[in-house]
Structure 1
Amino acid sequence: MRDQCKSRSFRNLDHALPLFDTMLHMRPLPSIVDFNQLLGAIARMKYYSEVIALIKQMESSAISPDNYTLSVLINCFCYLKRVDFGFSVLARMLKLGYQPNCIVLSTLVKGLCLQGNLAGAARLVVEMEKKGYKPNVITYGTMINSLCKIGETGEAIRLLRKLEKGNFELNVVLYSTIIDSLCKDRLVTEALNMLSKMMGKGIQPDLITYTSLIQGLCNFGQWKEATTLFKEMEQRKILPDVQTFNILVDTLCKEGMLTEANEVFDVMIQKGIEPDTVTYSSLMDGYCMQNKIDDAVKAFNMMVESGCSPNVFSYNILINGYCKNKRIDEAMHLFHEMSNRGMIPDVVTYNTLIGGFCRVERPRAALELFRKMGARGQHPDPLTYGILLDDLCKNKQIAEAMALFQDMEDRKLDRNIVIYNILIDGLCNVGKLTAARDLFYSLPGKGLQPDVRTYTIMIKGLCKEGLIDEASELLEKMDVNGCSPDDRTYNTIIQGLLQYKETSKAMELVKIMLNKGFSANSTTTELLLDLLSVNPTNKALQEFFQ
């Protein structure tokens, strides 16, 4: 029995619990050391609640916990984010005459950090120092890790500086934690500087350090610098893992560099690193982005043949590729294949297919899938409604669009400005300007501010109905309301003014547009050319075409 506890030979909780029960009924009882070894092993398996229950059971059987037992108990409470109970156990330790060691106090610091109580953790560290306990590098490492997790990288760096000044043996974990946090904060230059400083202290980077930096560089599209670091890893005999390779493959695919991505994939195989679902999905996405759907299918089949199970994300990539290429029947075949494999399509799957049906002008099929989506327990999101509303409005089915919009309101779904833009545009296109105007002016009351697209849609609708003065007033209101017109806005109002013979006003706006760095689009240019052919002596037009 003792040998079993020492060797920790039990495989899981189901094996450990009968052993504990046997120990509890043995006469004479095993020593507290034997119980502690068993409790420590169960805690290492992360069954914290069970350990607490077992210690209570021991005490009910008159087995008194010792310093180690109580230390394990504190650890379990801290991991369960009940540091208050942890401190109660600490008080009990002190009452029993036990002296908590640095590990116990570090555990409480970690517990406070897990709760997000960094101020409390810092106070405890100060108290530890006052009472003669010297917090070790693990204690400070816990605080640095917690600070980084909540985005307080600056505070983590200040704490690291304190450690550098003290007599602490710093390690790669501390520096890698901060390097990773800097990369996540998009401060890659600072992360690279931290790497140089770390190496200057004789601390060598490890796999985690390099992977964090490669991810940070790739997030900025700096794939050349990331590749250089990747090669440096190899020179230092640090073997990249599947995550490191995946970062590079994904970035190269997003940059449209499929040849280079496949080269990295080949290196991965040569080094004995098995590609996973993420690797194959990145390649598939890269091919789909370049409309190489057949190559994407080959990558998908290769994934299945290698024993890698595709997930919903993998299927969504391929379904999206088919839909972009208007191969909706093949997309639906994959959709059914997902169900046959026991996978539950998510909202992205449905949105992609609904959009695919709209793309091939099969609105009825899109609406049917929308209804099936709800029946199968997958709730439509604002994007689902946006896709359908856009299609209905483009096909001038405004009554159906308004009914769908009402359904959104009934479901209390977030109706963002994009949804309103679609509806206002649809109403303008069928000549329902009054309804469009009412909807436009109701936006502030709904807590929404019109964006540049909303204003441009309304200006276009007003111009279409010949309400040029109102359109011009709306343009002036844009800057007042903190929404600057863009090139589309200027081209829209200029075209409206030209069509209604407001040439001088149009030319004034052309000047403003050009001064702001925008240019006339083909329609505006064509209208100005027509005007020049009628008025060849017009100076403003001559200047424009010079």
Structure 2
Amino acid sequence: MFLPRILSNSSSKFSTFAIASLHSQSFLLPSLNFDNASCQMRHFSAYPRFDFGTIREPNDAVALFREMVRTQPLPYVSVFSKLLSTVVKMEQYSLALHLIDEMLQRDVPVNHYILNIAIDCYCRQKRPDFGFAILGIFFKRGYEPTVVTFNTLVKGLLLVGRVPEAAKVLWKMSVYQLCEPDERTCNTMINGICKAVGTLKALELLCLLEKEKGICKPNIYSYNALTDGLCKEGKVDDALQLFSSLGDKGISPNVVTYNSIIEGLCNRRRMDGAQDVLKKMIADKVCPNVVTCNIFVTAWCKDGKVQEAEHMLVSMKEIDVQPNIVTYSALINGYCMQGKMDEAERIFQLAVSSGIKPDIISYTSLMNGYCKKGQVDEVSRLFTIIPYKGLKRNVVTYTIMLEALFREGKCEDGLKLFKEMEALQVSLNIKTYNVLLDGLCGAHRIGEAFSLLHTMEDKGIIPDIVTYTILIEGLCHDNKVTQAKDLFSELPSKGMQPNAVTYTVLIGALCQDGQIEEAKDLMMQMANNCCMPDRVTYNVFVQGLLKRNKIHDAMPILEEMNARGFTLDETTFSMLIEPVVREGRDSVLFDKIKKLVPNDLFSR
């Protein structure tokens, strides 16, 4: 490409930055046509107009670019800038750079706006060194870089975590009087530092800038970046403290500020606090928007309060806020998680009738809901129609389809779909491999499962504790308890700590194999490793004891369950009925069981 070649040289003035260096290459900077004549105003009665609104995909942009470069006389450079800006908005940064490259090759006039676009593209690609080389072209060609240019470069450095170099650029801007930093410079630094190294350093910079005299003063955007960063780090109380100080600084919070605080509180399950902030927001005459409402809808759905979340649709109508697909998708997913597929379908149809097109998340949520209920035909139906709705299947969609096939026992169909994913170069993740491993283990193809483990490791997919739990369970189901114990023992050497599910799987297998003492030791080991048994663990162990007629050994476990607030599941309860009948209603055992039985089970 032509553009990389011109990046190999930069001016002596640029070398003072001593940040990016591409001098290892020795290509010459080509002579570009930047003469004044090419930039003079052309006087034509009918200059061609180009419709950028027709660009829907990269190929449309390329076709329009071809039309523009064939036009005589060439369109103004500002028209090319509009096209490139459209391509950047589509996040097609490589394409934008390719088009700039062609402009240079064809001697199409290029101005500082277009060079700024090139810098922005390289920085968005996390290649700021190339962005700085473009800065060298600014100096070489007599252009004066603006504060926008430097803000973009600072942002590029922060995106790759090069905070000291970003700070050095700010210092050079002032020392060499290249341009005066503005509020956006300040916002860029604070936002970038929050994401690169955390809020503590960003807060230090904010305090420093508050004391400094000059135009680079923190504004609401700076405080929003820091507030959002604090909330994402779980420091909601610190965010609230910063929020409460804004009035003293003469700064009015906007909808973004409130949304960050509300989301932070909702994420910490502090719904009352979130609603208090919403009331203050309305009192301060800051109108909630669809993002505000979606935060509450999502939070209520996660808490299982889907009907309360759905009521938000009524509230949104009252304040003239239109629900979007995010709103409907959250509700669809909420009902799917509760297994209420009729309600989920109702919300789906409500979105359609409201003129809102369901997205891939909507379809994926429905697929997941039907998968959990074992309705494979419905999962397959949705999977099939997705492309016909103009949507592209993603790794989540494929993974759910895989899981549905394996749940149905269709192992060969699952493996066939997996090969299709590889052929289509779907970006496979650990979740996909775990589903595949679980399917193979469920089909008693444990050898293939371990082969797949090595394959995924070779591809750079790092197994997690879920992966090893699946394999341990697969070995147990194949009556290979000794191998399962060996794999369990190897977990620390692999940098893994077993979780409650891992322990429970092995405890259940040991009980099934009659190794009650080892199972008991493993229960003790759990507590020693700060991994406390959960309700499932207790029930599995009690069931193992009861199968061996060790009712008296089960008694202290039942007491421990009661002390920790756990209840019996239906299987454990049914296994305890016979001993209770034998010992009578006045027995100690009956009294203990009565405390451990859930109300709905006891009333049957």
Please, what TM-score do these two structures have when normalized by structure 1? 0.74
- Deviations for 1:268-314, whole angstroms, at most 9, x for unmatched residues? 34555443222221222223334332222122122223332222221
Q: Is the partner of 1:2 in helix, strand or coil?
A: coil
Q: Does 1:126 align with 2:174?
A: no
Q: CA, structure 1 residues 491+113, in 2 after alignment: closer, same or farther (shift >3 Å)?
A: closer
Letter in 1 for 2:41: R
Name the residue aligned to 2:336: 288
Q: Give the whole-Å Cα distance in 1 for the aligned partners of 2:137 and 2:437.
A: 65
Q: Give the whole-Å Cα distance in 1 for the aligned partners of 2:567 and 2:337.
A: 30
1:119 CA drift (Å): 0.7
1:155 CA drift (Å): 1.7
What are structure 2's unaligned runs of at least 5 residues?
1-39, 53-60, 89-95, 596-604
Q: Does 1:208 align with 2:256?
A: yes
CA contact (8 A) 2:230 2:239 kept: yes
Q: CA, structure 1 residues 257+43, in 2 after alignment: closer, same or farther (shift >3 Å)?
A: same
What are structure 1's unaligned runs of at least 5 residues?
26-33
Letter in 1 for 2:119: F
Q: CA, structure 1 residues 131+439, in 2 after alignment: closer, same or farther (shift >3 Å)?
A: closer
Name the residue aligned to 1:31: none
Q: Is the partner of 2:246 in helix, strand or coil?
A: helix
Which residue among 299, 316, 320 is the counterpart of 2:368? Answer: 320
Q: CA, structure 1 residues 247+370, in 2 after alignment: closer, same or farther (shift >3 Å)?
A: farther
Q: Does 1:409 align with 2:453?
A: yes
Name the residue aligned to 1:225: 273
Q: Is the partner of 1:285 in helix, strand or coil?
A: helix
CA contact (8 A) 1:328 1:356 kept: yes
1:422 CA drift (Å): 3.9
Name the residue aligned to 1:30: none
Across the aligned residues of Structure 1 and Structure 2, the Cα RMSD in angstroms comes to: 5.0
Q: Is the partner of 2:355 in helix, strand or coil?
A: coil
Q: Give the whole-Å Cα distance in 2 for the aligned partners of 1:115 and 1:292.
A: 44
Q: CA, structure 1 residues 172+11, in 2 after alignment: closer, same or farther (shift >3 Å)?
A: farther
1:342 CA drift (Å): 5.0
Q: CA, structure 1 residues 72+161, in 2 after alignment: closer, same or farther (shift >3 Å)?
A: farther
Query: Which range moves more in the overlay, 118-127 or 420-429?
Result: 420-429
Name the residue aligned to 1:138: 184
CA contact (8 A) 2:219 2:251 kept: yes
Which residue among 216, 221, 243 is the counterpart of 1:195? Answer: 243
Which residue among 415, 419, 429 is the counterpart of 1:374? Answer: 419
Which residue among 384, 396, 415 is the counterpart of 1:336? Answer: 384
Q: Give the whole-Å Cα distance in 2 for the aligned partners of 1:438 and 1:494.
A: 24
Q: Does 1:308 align with 2:356?
A: yes
Q: CA, structure 1 residues 265+520, in 2 after alignment: closer, same or farther (shift >3 Å)?
A: closer
Q: CA, structure 1 residues 289+122, in 2 after alignment: closer, same or farther (shift >3 Å)?
A: same
Letter in 2 for 1:251: A
Q: CA, structure 1 residues 309+447, in 2 after alignment: closer, same or farther (shift >3 Å)?
A: same
**How high is the sequence identity, in percent, across the aligned residues?**
33
Name the residue aligned to 2:212: 166
Q: CA, structure 1 residues 16+382, in 2 after alignment: closer, same or farther (shift >3 Å)?
A: closer
1:186 CA drift (Å): 2.0
- Deviations for 1:358-408, whole angstroms, at most 9, x for unmatched residues? 66xx424x64244234336466765456557657767xx5xx331441452
1:448 CA drift (Å): 4.6
1:187 CA drift (Å): 1.9
Letter in 2 for 1:294: D
Q: Which protein, 1 or 2, shows the higher relative CO under an 8 Å CA cutoff with sep ≥ 6?
A: 2
CA contact (8 A) 2:262 2:295 kept: yes
Query: Which range moves more in the overlay, 456-465 or 521-530?
Result: 521-530
Q: Give the whole-Å Cα distance in 2 for the aligned partners of 1:258 and 1:206.
A: 28
1:263 CA drift (Å): 3.3
Q: Does 1:113 align with 2:161?
A: no
CA contact (8 A) 1:42 1:51 kept: no
Structure 1 or 2, whichever has the larger Rg, is 1
Name the residue aligned to 1:28: none
Q: Give the whole-Å Cα distance in 2 for the aligned partners of 1:212 and 1:127.
A: 34
Q: Is the partner of 1:135 in helix, strand or coil?
A: coil
Q: Give the whole-Å Cα distance in 2 for the aligned partners of 1:420 and 1:496.
A: 23
CA contact (8 A) 1:385 1:404 kept: no
CA contact (8 A) 2:405 2:414 kept: no
Name the residue aligned to 1:29: none
1:190 CA drift (Å): 1.9
Q: Give the whole-Å Cα distance in 2 for the aligned partners of 1:387 and 1:101.
A: 52
Name the residue aligned to 1:183: 231
Letter in 1 for 2:455: R
Query: Which range moves more in the overlay, 42-51 or 338-347?
Result: 42-51
1:185 CA drift (Å): 1.7
1:179 CA drift (Å): 1.6
Q: CA, structure 1 residues 151+467, in 2 after alignment: closer, same or farther (shift >3 Å)?
A: same
Name the residue aligned to 2:311: 263
1:72 CA drift (Å): 6.3
